[in-house]
Amino acid sequence: MAGHCAPTFDQLARSLGFSCDTAGGLVEVRNPLALENWTLPVLELTVILGSVLALVWAIVRLRRHGDPTNLVLWFGATAYLFIIEPPLYFPAAFGISGHVDTMFAHNVFTVDFLWGRLPLYIVAIYPFMATLAYEIVRMLGVFRTYGAIAGAACVGFVHHAFYEIFDQIGPQLRWWEWSTSNPLNQPVFDSVPLPSVVVFAALWPMSLAFCVYWFVGRRVDGGERFTGLQLVWRTIVIGLLASLGTFILPLPATVLGATSTTVRGTVYALELIVLALAAIALMYRQWTRRRQPGSAGPAYDNRFVRAYSVVYLLVMAVLWATALSDFLDATGGVTRNGDPIGNLWYTLACFAIGILCVAAVFTLPTTAASDKEEHSTARV
């Protein structure tokens, strides 16, 4: 695949310690003990195991309760991945190299696809993170009480908190490297492009969650059941429309900031602030409502998400703790090894939000059977 080894990708690959020309084939398997550092296989194991368990839960949920929501969410997120990511890896092959240059390069992991462009854990992280965020919001009952748009906004907010804990440390631990000179990555928030902080951490999961609930979740809540063929076409449509939503939701920043990086960054930040304020208000109100004396027990529970969200936060806390020494010794935003550092205060805020979200679902009343569904009319 050397013919598609763009100069920018080759430069990023070499800075990460591997060659674009020898990055492997369609599938490449490596010794996990021979990777860049020990954090890479730990990250892989955490994310891939979480994604597999999320898929198992989704299958069990469908077979026992006839509820395909989790399964559609899992495969919808995966479909979104394969729509969005390949053009970013091979812009020349998709005829867009005149408009889109390489934005980033992943380091090589134990299992890689597409000539070193796509690690297996990246395939896994889309459905894994989407499941954590969607199910936390679903357990709180936000979708049922406030409808699709409100629920999707809360999913975007929760996903953002979980994702940025990972996003802010990735460049320092050499999990990937950004092309900071690429205009599409501007402005940069310490080591992370602000478009990643807003679009890929918050807006795309918001778009996905809305589509999943609109096409499947609300209908399941209303007692509807689907055939296999109906689920297949709905999943494909969800992946396509979620991709379209990723283009539509950032349009204010894209249009208003077309000629100014500062304006674009300001609008991105404002979008995120509005989303966060709305989600915090909705989720807190719903949590307090669920805990009021005499209120109904939880309409839905996901024991896997409650447990594994704790595992994820603990693993990321350990990774951050072991990287903290190099972080604190960094000069000018760069460690002694030449790796850019993220924003510690922002990460701590995301940790706090993640912990509060997990605590919220652990402190919901448990007087009703957790697997029973309360059927009500959904609102948009």
Mean pLDDT of 74-78: 96
> Whole-number mean pLDDT of the chain?
90
User: Which is more confident, 7 or 63?
Assistant: 63
What is the pLDDT confidence band of residue 180, given thresholds at 50, 70 and 90? confident
User: Residue 76 in contact with residue 212, Cβ under 8 Å?
Assistant: yes
What is the pLDDT confidence band of residue 5, given thresholds at 50, 70 and 90? confident
Res 268: pLDDT: 96
How do residues 194-245 score in pLDDT, each as one tens digit? Answer: 999 999 999 999 999 999 999 999 999 888 899 889 999 999 999 999 999 8
Closest CA to 137 of 380, 326, 305, 376: 305
How do residues 82-123 score in pLDDT, each as one tens digit? Answer: 998 888 888 877 877 777 788 899 999 999 998 889 999 999
Res 295: pLDDT: 65
**Which positions ≥6 away from 146 have C-beta within 8 Å?**
282, 286, 379
Roughly how many angstroms between the first and final C-alpha of the chain, as a whole number?
46
For residue 176, what are the β-bridge partners? Answer: 106
Mean pLDDT of 254-267: 92
Share of the chain above pLDDT 90, in %: 74
- Count other Cβ atoms within 10 Å, centred on residue 176: 16
The whole-model pTM stands at 0.93
Q: Is the pLDDT of residue 1 over 80?
A: no
Res 296: pLDDT: 56
Q: Is the pLDDT of residue 334 over 80?
A: yes
Res 87: pLDDT: 85
Q: Which residues of 239-267 are buried (b: 16+ CB within 10 A; e: fewer)?
A: bebbbebbeebbeebbeebeeeeeebbbb
Task: Give the Cα separation of 189 and 341 in Å (integer).
Answer: 10
Q: Which helix (H) or strand (E) holds 223?
A: none
For residue 253, give both structure tokens: 């920043």
What is the pLDDT confidence band of residue 377, given thresholds at 50, 70 and 90? very low
Task: Give the Cα separation of 35 and 107 in Å (integer).
Answer: 9
Q: Is the pLDDT of residue 368 over 50?
A: no
Mean pLDDT of 353-376: 71
Mean pLDDT of 176-200: 92
Res 369: pLDDT: 41
Q: Is the pLDDT of residue 372 over 70?
A: no
Q: Is the pLDDT of residue 378 over 80?
A: no
Q: Is the pLDDT of residue 128 over 90?
A: yes
Beta strands in the chain (DSSP E): 27-29, 104-106, 111-113, 118-119, 176-178, 188-189, 192-193
